[in-house]
Amino acid sequence: YKQVAEALGKPGATRAVGSACGANPLPIVLPCHRVVRTDGGLGGYRGGLEAKRYLLDLERED
């Protein structure tokens, strides 16, 4: 969330980025599942953490 906030020129807006990702109505088209917490944790995901984990694992596979 921190990197996205910084890229937007709003380094203190990490919670806003998290909220925006959580409200994303098109989570596959706009891949917010790739946004993770600064500490490496998954954070949240509108489709649920199991779905987020699945999508991230799927992208890691060759």
Catalytic residues: 32
Query: Is there a contact between 1 and 7 (Cβ–Cβ < 8 Å)?
Result: no
Q: Is 34 helix (H, G, I), strand (E, B) or coil?
A: helix
DSSP label of 11: T
Alpha carbon distance 54, 27 (integer Å): 13
